[in-house]
Amino acid sequence: MIAFALPDPKTDNPLAFRHYNPDEIVLGKRMTDHLRFAACYWHNFCWNGADMFGAGSFERPWQAAGDALEMAKRKADVAFEFFYKLNVPYYCFHDVDVSPEGASLKEYLHNFAVMTEVLAEKQQQTGVKLLWGTANCFTHPRYGAGAATNPDPEVFAWAATQVVTAMNATHQLGGENYVLWGGREGYESLLNTDLRQEREQIGRFLQMVVEHKHKIGFGGTLLIEPKPQEPTKHQYDYDVATVYGFLKQFWSGK
């Protein structure tokens, strides 16, 4: 494990802290409580080096052909070795970053249950904590027309199952937050979009998320991530102001 070195404002080392001291008190809290550094699972361990113009170029043992669940366990071995050696206090993930989606909902639930136990063991061994978990409701083709806003009830139900399962896992792993990002919640054209229907549908979805949080006793914070035009041209979580207005509408301003 890399030991923490006291900050040096005059250092020329680009990998050294100049001002950050985890135990220094700022406004009544330690810096480490203000700045909860985390390593993400997806960019670090799921990307295969592909871009818009070329195929993946990384040769990673956990991305080799083989049993998907065993590859996920191998990925977890590498990930937690990385977190531990760099002395990173937190990590974060989407459900399918850490667990194979499988060919059916039954396989998804089984795989995620197995990997949640694996992650719990890794956290116990290393002391690394979960900053937040979330569900990937945007990559699979089923979400091309939205997840919570999708007009197909089966797609809506699948997205709800992913969110419930991911929040349960986050709770089990002691996660401090749960993140919601609606990358596919939006529209390309108003010609085939019922804005009122879609907004009410995602509003109800978020209310269900809050209800489930309280039902299972999850004490973490629910976070919504605004991000404009990635990948949808017109997204309902476009920016902070848009999300704030949406929440005021569906939660009576509370």
Residue type, 57: S
Give residue 53's Cα distance to chain centre: 26
Entry pTM: 0.94
Active site residue 19: no
Model pLDDT, residue 188: 85
Query: Is pLDDT above 80 for 253?
Result: no
Closest CA to 114 of 133, 99, 129: 99
What's the pLDDT score for residue 252? 57
Q: Is the pLDDT of residue 6 over 70?
A: yes
Using CA atoms, how far residue 10 sits from 4, 6, 16, 39, 55, in Å, is 17, 12, 10, 27, 42
CA pair distance 69, 55, nearest whole angstrom: 24
49-104 tens-digit pLDDT: 999 999 999 999 999 989 999 999 999 999 999 999 999 999 999 999 999 999 99
What are the percentages of helix, strand and coil residues in the chain, rounded to 5? 45, 15, 40
Q: Which one of the listed residues 8, 23, 51, 94 is annotated catalytic?
A: 94
- What would the DSSP string read from start to end of 113-157? HHHHHHHHHHHHHH--EEEEEE---SSSGGGTT-STT-S-HHHHH
Residue 78 parent element (H or E): helix 68-85
Q: In the annotation, is 94 catalytic?
A: yes
Report the percent of the chain where pLDDT is more than 90. 87
Residue 246: predicted pLDDT:
92
Give the CB-side neighbour count of residue 192, counting CA atoms within 13 A.
6
pLDDT at residue 32 in the model: 93
pLDDT tier, 136 (very low <50, low <70, confident <90, very high otherwise): very high
Q: Which of 95, 97, 171, 237 is catalytic?
A: 97
Question: Hey, what are 166's tokens?
Answer: 């991911």
Structure tokens at 45: 């361990």
Question: Which of the two residues, 73 and 1, has the higher pLDDT score?
Answer: 73
Indicate the CATH number of 25-250 among 3.40.50.2000, 3.20.20.150, 3.30.390.10, 3.50.40.10: 3.20.20.150
Question: Are the C-beta atoms of 209 and 221 separated by less than 8 Å?
Answer: no
pLDDT tens digits for range 180-235: 999 999 988 899 899 999 999 999 999 999 999 999 999 999 999 998 888 888 99
